[in-house]
Structure 1
Amino acid sequence: MDTLTKKPLVLEQSSRDISRQSSTSFGSLMRIMDFSLMIGGMLVIGRYQSETVGLEWLLLYGCIGWILYHAGASYLNFYGSWRVFSLMRELTHVALIWFIAFSCVALTALLLFDDETHVRDVILPWGVVVATGMLSYRSLVRLFLHRLRELGINNHNVAIVGCGPSAERLKKGFESAPWMGFRVVGQFDKSQVANGASETLDVQEMIRLAHSGQIDRTYVTWEMSREADIRQLIDALADTTVSLYLIPDLLVSDLMYSRVEPINDVVTVSIYDTPVYGPTGSLKRIEDIVLSLAILGIVSLPMLVIALAVKLTSPGPVLFKQTRYGLDGRPIRVYKFRTMKVMEDGDVVTQATRSDKRLTPVGGFLRRTSLDELPQFINVLQGRMSIVGPRPHAVAHNEQYRGLIHGYMLRHKVKPGITGWAQINGWRGETDTLEKMQKRVELDHDYIRHWSLAFDLKIILLTVCRGFVDKNAY
């Protein structure tokens, strides 16, 4: 069988050379662009915006901004390859790191001087210009790379070993995201398997192509029972420059979150884990603190009015404090404005229903508009909750549903949130049937699997745009 005529390669050697050099080249270019924007932008804006800020201060502010941003950007690999990440995810990370660096520069200026002249006249417009510039040029670079990949430049040749469900899923993933620049040159397997599949090539042909430098990445999707074949393939590719990836068959299961972690030279693969950790976890925490402080500053007066209304219309405390499960199932105290005449927090908690007789005179309005949940921004500042995440349920409901819904407790692998993916998709309010709770849990799991800072911002924007009033909230 002539496997090359069966599925010929179309990538030229010269384009692959460009592909291997492009990551370093674009990384250096972006460093130069960032430095020029921050230092040059500060000097230009300072020259035209203010005559009272000296050159030495302009250089100091610019250098502080550059050092802080560059440290964060390098730590998060902003100057490396973002081939497998979406543009929105890249821009979100850039914006957040820049906001932190800019805030530090502004704080430095306020600490060094008694007035806000430097911040108002120079640093604030500088921050806006730099942010606009960085987001714009990174978007243009992405568009340029997409165009190159359409022309067959900056692409990586990918070989998939195996022809099972995981191989098909992986192939479809590459084909559905051409912006990543991965070209699947074929699926390969042992000769006896390849001969029985019309679109599968002999794995020996893949090894020959790898040795000739015509394959950049190889993904092995064989079942773990084929350990001998996997070891033989690893040995055969050891004398090549191919990047080799192993996809154990267990990873195509419906996992919560999976990542590889070496421990004392032993490679471990997580089955159930949280995606919110490390630098991105820190950024989510910063996002929570900054937004919560801003929102509490805006709604402090309305919260005072609500507190008075609650106190004057029914006997009892202003706040209702209930024990719920937080991160990793640990009990936390969640705050809400009291909307009912009773305060259930035990082994039996009755869900609120439409026209519930337990509601206070203002309770129904507060629940329909979600204003009763404003005190939970205090929970966010305490670190017990996040702005975005699965909604916390009463402990009694958790114990009830964990035995009825498979994987129910996995929703606690992240902090509970004030708003969430399930809520903006219409699954909030009373869960009077098991199917309703199953759908909510399913969407909570989807949020955890696909979590990113960009996804968080999307949920926040959708929450604001769609309003806080919901027909299912009562």
Structure 2
Amino acid sequence: MSAHTQIMATVAPSARFDPDLGVIMPPSNGMPRSVFGRPVAPLAKWRRRYAACLVVLDFVAAVAASRTVVALFQDADAGFWDQRVLGDTVSAFVLVANIGVPLLWLVILAGAGAYDRRALGRGTEELNRVVRANIAMAAAVSFLALGFKKDVSRATVAAIIVGLLVYTVFVRIVARVALRRIRRVNQRASQKVLLVGRLADALAVHEVVTRNAGAGLRPVAIHLPQYPRSGERVNAPVPVYVGWDLVPLVQQLRADTIAVCGPASLESYELRKLAWQLEGTGIDLVVVPQVTDVTGPRIHVRPIEGLPLLNVEEPTISGLSLLAKSLIDRIAALFGLIVLSPVLVGIALAIKFTDPGPVMFRQSRIGHQGKAFKVWKFRTMYTDAEQRLEALRAHNESDGLLFKMRNDPRVTPIGRHLRALSLDELPQLINVLMGQMSLVGPRPLPTEDDDYRGDVRRRLLVRPGITGLWQISGRSDLTWEDAVRLDLHYVDNWSLVYDLGILWHTVRVVLDRRGAY
């Protein structure tokens, strides 16, 4: 029994699989079905359990923050947390420090949407809401101190606010790592998505959301808005339906999300009617815009006379933010070179003693605005690597400007270990310190400027980086087309917060040794 017929049997006994078209047809009665006549789909249970765990972890984090501040300021002469300010009522002090502050913190977190199901485990949005709650907590503590006429120590208030932020962000990151691991290992705790749209649009979205199982989106089926043309065969990695009412279909599939893919998927009135039908069902409705590679603050919805307009702003790759990025890069590079100097010396000695030849390898690369520069790397290949390149051209596993070979015989034994952990890239901190590179950005490629044609030249609008979207999304396992698409996405949506997120993910990718050869 095929996958199509297996799922068809679980969806509706009267449904019919058309082997010629490769789609599952609706029941033959043709009667309109209404969401109000069917049981309401409950909210995904994993979300409830995950939110409950976050409440417990946030409470523990708040208690830990309070106890840390008490330990730091227990000898202060004045302050809200000093037991002497509260007189002999030690129990009142314990109640405020261990119960009052944590409960107030939970209330403010909930008010800031930190437990909203749409933000749980998703990118930086969850952490942004925690930061907003922390600012609100500072205002609340100050307001309560003023209202109760308490002489609150500024240092104590600052310490508790910073402590709440640090501890809460830490437990949230730990929770997110655990959630992503569960998703990758057994595909649990993920949103089951019904993709609605033309086959090409739905398959494009399917490819993107399944690239990283940790993101928590798992397509379970595709619904086509129109019947295939005569003689056209539909092939897809998930079952394909056509002619169904969406709400009953998504409920019977036990999915919890409908994703409308592409501009021609549903008419405006159909989309509005679908949103009405989903009210109270616990099913999410998401619309994938046509501008799929534009995200974040560049997109604004501005209604004009009741008509919602999606306004796409120009990318910001200049100004104070870019100056701040440059300063952070150089300071971090200097600090990294000083702290990692023992590691750098150890790697250099290992290369020198295991293979004769220079320790460093310098190669001409194309950087910002098409300017050539010499990139620094630890040598990971034998000294005659360039001479042996032509003989290996037929074994190239890359479809772009780079030569890539999974078991390249030119790589030394120590070089394989350095590449697996990306330690050969550490000398590029010198390039960052000199302003030729950045910590985060598109990778500099060993090619002539004339090879950058068309859209690829857009990579040169920013400084190349030691790490970037390419590296955290698959590294050498990606096709050239995917690598270029990710680099252009970074250029179009760059921000300092985006850079911090990429740096954080780089650590995980390097430790996993994914796509490094």
TM-score normalised per structure 2: 0.45
TM-score normalised per structure 1: 0.48
